[in-house]
Structure 1
């Protein structure tokens, strides 16, 4: 029997378990992500990790650095590099806002979760301030 459209088992979500413990979340954004086919299949199988990942702005584009998406078992020569830098897709005014906040200092762009919305993979990123040891 096919899974129902609202069945929670059908949706894969990868969470950053360290983010809410180590940072105060100031502002959240929902971004698309440019992936290869084998990367999408690995994420759908739940074989991704974003605990060590962070966002960076370079030349007016937003990049997700250090996210680990395991190699797809049946990908053979079409497989991807597991730790490659991936482009995040946001509106230009949102990228400018993030760039200004990062240039001001004291904040980081941290991915909170990676999930499927309809058939598209989305990444929830947040501008965060680091917590001190006594927080």
Structure 2
């Protein structure tokens, strides 16, 4: 059994939105981003997910620069791709267009 370590929780999303469906997906990271995430230096407060060109992309998620990363550090607020199945992406895209739903990340964890 894998243990999950919760890194960040978006409490604002739970308060401001009615949460209907939940999806678990992976996150594409670069360079020193995983080291900053393991230190807990991530903020989901103003982040949201948009779907463009058949890919789910998280926007506004802030990952602080790694202290020992020097020139290899990443951009703090860059768009990061989410790893979902194509049929899940199509379903989410249809829901956001027709029903007016918004996609927000609720929790970030490591397993």
**TM-score scaled by length of structure 2:** 0.94
Structure 2 unaligned segments of length 5 or more: list them: none
Q: Deviations over 1:35-85 (max 9, x none)?
A: 013110001000000010000000100000000000000011110000000
Q: How does 1:80-95 map to 2 (within 5 A)?
A: 80-95=74-89
Instruction: Give yes or no for the alignment of 1:24 onto 2:2.
Output: no
Shift of 1:12: 4.2
Q: How does 1:31-70 map to 2 (within 5 A)?
A: 31-70=25-64
Q: CA RMSD in A?
A: 1.5
Whether contact under 8 Å (2:6, 2:107) holds in the other structure is: no
Hey, what's the Cα distance between the residues in 1 that align with 2:106 and 2:6? 14
Q: What is the DSSP-based 3-state SS (H/G/I as helix, E as strand, rest coil) of the residue aligned with 1:93?
A: helix
Aligned to 1:101: 95
Q: What is the DSSP-based 3-state SS (H/G/I as helix, E as strand, rest coil) of the residue aligned with 2:104?
A: strand
CA radius of gyration, larger in: 1
**TM-score scaled by length of structure 1:** 0.78
Counting matched residue pairs gives: 110
Hey, what's the Cα distance between the residues in 2 that align with 1:82 and 1:104? 32
Higher share in strand: 1
Runs of 4+ in 1 over 6 A off after TM superposition: none
